[in-house]
Amino acid sequence: MLEAKNLKVKRNLTALIDFSRIINSSIDLDFILNNVLLTCLGKFLATRGLIALKEKNKIVLKSSKGITTELLQEFPELEATRDCIDDPKLNSFMHIANLKVVEKISSSDDCIGLVCLGEKLNKSEYTEDDVEFLGTILNISATAVQNSMVINELRNVNRQLDSRVQRLSSLFELSKEFGSFAESYRVVKLLVFSILGQFLVQKYAIILFENDVPDILDSKFDNEKLLQLIKRYELHKTPDSIKKDFLKVNHNELLELGVELIVPMQLQNKTRGIILLGSRAGNRDFFNSDIEYIYSVGNLAIISLENNRLFLEALEKQKMEEDLLIARDIQRNLLPQTLPEYDKYDIAALNVSSKQVGGDYYDVIPIVDEKFYIAIADVSGKGVPASLMMANIQAFLQVICQQGMKIDEATAMINDLVTGNTSEGRFITFFWGYINNKTNTLTYVNAGHNPPYILRGDKVIKLTKGGIILGVVKTFTPYIFEEVELKKDDVILLYTDGVSEALNLEFQEYSEERLERIAKSLVKNSAGEILNGIKEDVQIFTQGNTQSDDITMIVIKVR
Amino acid sequence: MAEFSTSVRENGDISIINLKGFLDAHTAPTLESNFTQLINDSKFKIVVNFENLAYISSAGLGVFMAYIESIRDNKGDIKLTNMSDKVFNIFDLLGFPLLYEIYKNEEEAIKKFSGS
């Protein structure tokens, strides 16, 4: 009898030592818990059991055998106190789960977990000895469990640290790359790649706002719908990121499209673009730290995109300036380099082109000894297009003046030519005429140009006869010409609106009245002196302001 | 500047991309062009061998995400093999094993393609 009991104790001891060796040889928590549970079930011939461990001051279920998942879900929330196994919630759970005995796992008086076991296969109750033996098993297990828990915790911390280091190095790398890119499509690509890789996302869109108007740089959503919704929900005003919960309640259509997160890209506190992301693999949520990361990457990218835009803008501006130089060159070459000289007529002309280069044109074309043409025109618009139209007009004039056509018919023909050759909305105000040396007359047609003056002493004659401006419609009402007899000391003054509409700093126009007044006061001088006098007066008037339009004048004084 | 290069081999209807060096934001376009080329050629069974890859950044990982959808839509896949512990750790950190099959060596990946 005693021998039999001794044998039993010996067997128990051997088993305990074996058990101790096995669980202490591992740091794998799952392996240890599995072993503890199986040992308990085997020792007491129980068919069910569970182990729960302390985690952040709660007792959390870790391992179980023979209990259905539905039942396991009922496992209560327990505080990790020293007498955790006396909790009534645990008792009632044990009752419904048909668990008969519970014992805690302690480490230096601290409860680090508990074990529950079900009824024995032979239906017998747990004896005092059984409970004591269970206590012994758990005491042996405690150190191994504690150690592997610490190691697990360390592993987690390490992983979090790894993850943070990884994100930081990504950010660092991206900031370097974004800084060196010139092309925005590569910036967008990189932005996309780094976010997709970091968060395992497959659907995305990158939107830029140009004056609050959305522009899709890259997208895997339905673009048409996306644009519609972005406009409807005024996402350019989004100051903060928008998460799934908010989308569900407020912008459900975006959620239906597959959008689960919207993060603004901001520059100087203004939202300049947005990043839209679809779901993460494995149905994971975007956490705040994730959103912060996306926000950082997005802001790095937007700086790069903005620099890019400014660079292109500067290029464009430079190109425009080159254009203007070309326009100025064309214009300069079209204007007469020298003016013909006549005994009876003193001719002077002036063209001061503005920074923008307008479309002013004038010409003096000698035909035969007794006749020469004068022309002045203002082409609408500025820059190269206006200059090219000027070139057209000049070519027409050079040809037509040689043909000996009647001036009214010739004007109709020029109008038809110009109308047929201009893009919509362009027009030319045009005045031309010829002076006959022998008869001392001026024959002119005015096609919508500021009426030139003939200053005769105190009198002013305005040359208004003609017709519609060139280039609007083909001629249907014939142009009218007029022949004016010239007298000695008459001054003919032709000008463009760059003179009469020159602005001073108060945005007042120089005006035709002032032009008339100054011209009258200068009438006794030579053509060149009159021209300079007017020019100086305009300069005095506009002092401090930049010249916004070309200034062109022709003065002819009859000797 | 970190070096990166790729080479593509054929094994039956399976294309094997070997990566070498540092796959980061700067070098990602190289791998990108490999994928677009294979997709253009309708070669959707792809094995990527990481044996000689020293480093991969999230932008490098993004390249895999950007093309996986269209490849799987065409009944293909990208399978990953021969990762060093360091490279695997980054894939693991970001949760890639959820989405991609990762094998010890090329043979296993190729076998998996022929099996399916």
b/e code A110-149 from CB counts within 10 Å (16+ = b)? ebbbbbbbbbbeeeeebeeebeebbeebbebbbebbbbbb
- B98: nearest CA partner in chain A: A282
Tell me: pLDDT of A5 over 80: no
| Position A166 in a domain | no
Of A159, A192, A202, the CB nearest to B93: A159
Cβ–Cβ below 8 Å for A186 and B29: yes
One-letter amino acid of A67: I
The DSSP element (H or E) to which B91 belongs, if any, is helix B85-93
On whether the CB atoms of residues A366 and A557 are closer than 8 A, the answer is: no
Residues A73 and A200 in one domain: no
Are A194 and B25 within 8 A, CB to CB? yes
On chain A, the residues whose CB falls within 8 A of the CB of B100 are none
B25 contacts B57 by C-beta, under 8 angstroms: yes
Is A283 inside any structural domain?
yes
Q: What digits encode the pLDDT tens for the residues A462-515?
A: 999 999 999 888 988 999 999 999 999 999 999 999 899 988 888 889 999 999
Better-scored residue on pLDDT, A340 or A83: A340
Exposure string (b/e) for A220-230, b if CB count within 10 Å is 16 or more?
bbeeeebbebb
Query: What number is the average pLDDT over the span A276-286?
Result: 89
User: Do A343 and A295 share a structural domain?
Assistant: no
Mean pLDDT of chain A: 88
A281 neighbourhood in chain B, CB within 8 Å: 95, 98-99
Assign A133 to helix, strand or coil: helix
- Put simply, whether B64 touches A (Cβ < 8 Å) is yes
Distance CA A109, CA A82 (A): 7
Distance CA A47, CA A393 (A): 107
Of A170-184, A237-251, A368-382, B70-84, the least confident: A170-184
Residue A320 lies in a domain: no
Cα(A456)–Cα(A227) distance, integer angstroms? 68
pLDDT (0 to 100) of residue A1: 60
User: Residue A424's pLDDT is what?
Assistant: 67
Q: How far apart are CA B23 and CA B57, in angstroms?
A: 6
pLDDT attached to residue A553:
95
Q: What is the pLDDT of residue A182?
A: 61
- Do A374 and A259 lie in one domain? The reply is no
Same domain, A148 and A265: no
Q: With an 8 Å Cβ cutoff, is B1 touching chain A?
A: no
**CATH 1.10.1200.10 at B4-115, yes or no:** no
Q: Average pLDDT for residues A408-416, to the nearest whole number?
A: 92
CB pair distance less than 8 Å for B29 and A162: no
User: Does a structural domain hold residue A59?
Assistant: yes
A306 and A356 housed in the same domain: no
Strand-pair partners of A455: A460, A491
The Cα A418–Cα A473 span in angstroms is 9
Percent of chain A beyond pLDDT 70? 99
Across the interface, of A163, A174, A202, the residue whose CB is closest to B69 is: A202
Domain with residue A259: its CATH number is: 3.30.450.40
Q: Token pair of A165, please?
A: 């280091």
CB-based contact, A171 to chain B, within 8 Å: no
- Overall average pLDDT of the B84-105 stretch: 90
Q: Is the pLDDT of residue A86 over 90?
A: no
* Domain layout of chain B by residue ranges: 4-115
* Type of residue at A249: V
What SS3 state is found at A135?
A: helix
- Picking from B59, B64, B99, the nearest residue to A194 by CB comes out as B59
CB neighbour list of residue A414: distance below 8 Å, 6 or more residues apart: A393, A396, A397, A400, A430, A470
Answer whether B8 touches A (CB < 8 Å): no
Could you count the other beta carbons within 10 Å of the beta carbon of residue A498?
24
Asked if A202 and B65 come within 8 Å (Cβ–Cβ), the reply is yes
Asked if residue A174 belongs to a domain, the reply is: no
Indicate whether A356 and A303 sit together in one domain: no
Q: What letter does residue B98 receive in the DSSP assignment?
A: G
**pLDDT average, residue stretch B97-115:** 90
Last residue of a domain, one of A153, A168, A192: A153
> Chain A: residue nearest B64 by CA?
A197
Number of domains observed in the structure of chain A: 3
Residue of B59, B90, B99 lying closest to A190 (CB–CB) = B59
pLDDT at A430 over 90: yes
Single out the residue in A136, A153, A170 at which a domain terminates: A153
Residue A271 lies in a domain: yes
What is d(CA B10, CA B41) in angstroms, rounded to the nearest whole number? 12
* Contact across the interface for A166 and B90, Cβ inside 8 Å: yes
Would residue A323 count as lying in a domain?
no
Length of chain B: 116
Q: Where are the beta strands (DSSP E) in A99-229?
A: 99-107, 110-118, 204-210, 213-219
Residue B42 has pLDDT above 90, yes or no: yes
Is the pLDDT reported for residue B1 higher than 70? no
Chain A: residue whose CA lies nearest to B59: A194
pTM of the model: 0.59
Residues A185 and A126 in one domain: no
The sign one gets for the Cα dihedral B6, A200, A169, A183 is positive
Average pLDDT, chain B: 90
Count the Cβ atoms, other than its own, within 10 Å of residue B68: 21
Strands A261-267 and A270-277, bridge-based pairing: antiparallel
Contacts of A169 in chain B (CB under 8 A): 57
In the prediction, which pLDDT does A544 show? 81
Query: What is the per-residue pLDDT for A374?
Result: 95
pLDDT > 80? residue A181: no
Quickly count: other Cβ atoms within 10 Å of residue A513's Cβ. Answer: 10
Residue pLDDT, tens place only, A14-53: 888 888 888 888 888 889 999 899 888 888 888 899 999 9
> d(Cα A462, Cα A442) in Å, to the nearest integer?
13
Nearest to B95 among A169, A177, A282 (CB): A282
Q: Which chain B positions have a beta carbon within 8 Å of A199's beta carbon? A: 94
Span A229-254, pLDDT tens digits = 999 999 888 889 999 999 999 999 99
Q: How does DSSP classify residue B1?
A: -
Please report the pLDDT score of residue A533 as a whole number.
94
Cβ contacts of B63 on chain A, cutoff 8 Å = 193, 197
CB contact (8 A) between residue B59 and residue A173 = yes
A342-376: burial string, b at 16+ Cβ within 10 Å, e else: beebbbbbbbbbbebbbbbbbbbbeeeeebbbbbb
| ipTM (interface predicted TM) | 0.81
Per the CB < 8 A criterion, the answer to whether A39 and A45 are in contact is no
Look-up: residue for tokens 């070459």? Answer: A333
- pLDDT of A347 reads 95
* Number of residues written out for chain A: 559
Q: Is A537 or A15 the better-scoring residue by pLDDT? A: A537
Asked whether residue A151 carries a pLDDT value surpassing 70, the answer given is yes
Residue A524 shares a structural domain with residue A424:
yes
- Domain interval for residue A271: 181-310
* B-interface mutation test, from A169, A172, A185, A198, most B Cβ less than 10 A away: A198
Chain A interface, mutation test: which of B58, B72, B90, most A Cβ atoms within 10 Å? B58
Rounded Cα distance between A554 and A442, Å, is 14
Task: Determine the pLDDT at residue A179.
Answer: 76
Closest CA to A514 of A538, A485, A536: A538
3-state secondary structure A197-228: HHHCECCEEEEEEECCEEEEEEECCCHHHHHH
**Higher-confidence position of B27 and B48:** B48
A127: which DSSP letter?
Answer: P
A201 at interface of B, judged by CB pairs closer than 8 A: yes
Q: How far apart are CA A248 and CA A123, in angstroms?
A: 54
In a domain? residue A284: yes
* Predicted confidence (pLDDT) at residue B116 exceeds the cutoff of 80: no
Cβ neighbours of B21 (radius 10 Å): 16
Mark yes or no for CB contact B89/A162 under 8 Å.
yes
B2 pLDDT tier (thresholds 50, 70, 90): low
Is B28 an 8 Å CB contact of chain A? yes
Instruction: Calculate how close chain B gets to A235, using CA atoms only, in Å.
Output: 25
3-state secondary structure of A186: helix
Give yes or no: residues A304 and A340 share one domain: no
> For the ranges A413-422, A465-474, B83-92, which has the lowest average pLDDT?
A413-422
Which chain B positions have a beta carbon within 8 Å of A170's beta carbon?
Answer: 57-59
Q: Which of B56, B57, B78, B91 to mutate to test the interface with A (most CBs of A within 10 A)?
A: B57
Q: Do A551 and A462 fall into the same domain?
A: yes
The tokens 């903060």 sit on which residue? A240
* pLDDT at site B6: 93
Give yes or no: residues A501 and A396 share one domain: yes
pLDDT at res. A557: 95
Using a CB–CB cutoff of 8 Å, tell me whether B97 touches chain A. Answer: no
Question: Residue A384: what pLDDT?
Answer: 78
CA–CA–CA angle A461, A466, A467 (5° rounding): 135
- Of chain A, the end-to-end C-alpha distance in Å amounts to 158
- Report d(CA A210, CA B52) in Å as an integer: 44
**Do residues A111 and A196 share a domain?**
no
Q: How confident is the model at residue A455 (pLDDT cuts 50, 70, 90)?
A: very high
A90-130 per-position pLDDT tens digit: 889 999 888 999 998 988 778 889 999 998 888 888 888 88
